[in-house]
Amino acid sequence: MIERNTLKYTLACMIYGTIGLLLQYVNASSEFVVLCRGTIGSLFIMLVLFIKKEKIDLVSVKKNLKYLIASGVCLGLNWVFLFAGYKRALAITSLVNYTAPIMVVVITSLISKEKLNKIVIAFIATSFIGVVLISGIFNNTGIDVYCLVCGFAAALAFVGLVLLNRKFKDIKPLDKTVIQLAFSALTVLPYVIINNGFPKSLDSVSILIIAVLGIVHTGIAYILYFSSVGVLPVQKVAILGYIEPALTVMIGILILNEDASIFSVLGAVLIILSAVCSEITKK
């Protein structure tokens, strides 16, 4: 039986993997959708707390405030840079962004001297090769420096988010998540304003999808994510995190009828096998 935190983290990654599909049917800028995700997600979690008749522990929030603010900013910056790069070239931006788990493993080992399992490192490398294959980079005729910078900046922001989540002490997952999402929305807001990202009108389908993205893909998914990522080994976080791009590619092939090359199929297989084999190795 899969360990509970592993299951929660895996489910969160699978939810994230369907975001690309839903975005195809939204007639609004990507940065506006990002802003709505943070805002709606934060409000949804506050509603969950209200229904459960729980109050935010202000003492714990104050104790961890600097980490809450910093991690919320990292989350918002990850969204800003990621979506900025996606506007130019999805493949390159995605490839560079998904070097983040590997960065986490390396940086964590340097900072905390955490012992790394060589077999797990091999699985991480295999997963990264899978991402390279599914990115479509072999079909590109040139490299976009702008997208490389955006992807790398997004990856660094994500690394900061993961490492800061390991700093929290004595704070409930829901309390932590609602504050982080609120600060992520505040971080994204200037980006939306500067880029005139507010839509003049929204159709009913877009409104519904944005609501789903905010509630399911942000509120619920982030509860699952943040309540598990801080307690799981960084190696496992790195490996299972690649489920998201693998699922995104499969949705593109099977549902959106995107071109499926032998590289993309092989890459998806490598990513999924790495995640499964890492769990078997642990057993």
The residue whose two tokens read 């990654």 is: 13
pLDDT of 53 higher than 70: yes
pLDDT of 27 higher than 90: no
143 or 114: which leads in pLDDT: 114
Q: How confident is the model at residue 199 (pLDDT cuts 50, 70, 90)?
A: confident
| Mean pLDDT value across residues 195-205 | 84
How far, in Å, CA of 138 to CA of 42, rounded?
39
pLDDT of 131 higher than 80: no
| Mean pLDDT value across residues 230-236 | 77
| Structural domain boundaries in the chain | 4-282
What is the value of pTM for the model shown? 0.76
pLDDT at 235: 72
Q: What percent of the chain has pLDDT over 70?
A: 86
Residues 97, 16 contacting (CB under 8 angstroms): no
Residues 102, 124 contacting (CB under 8 angstroms): yes
Q: What is the maximum alpha-carbon separation in the chain?
A: 57
29-33, 148-152, 215-219 — which one is most confidently predicted on average?
Answer: 215-219
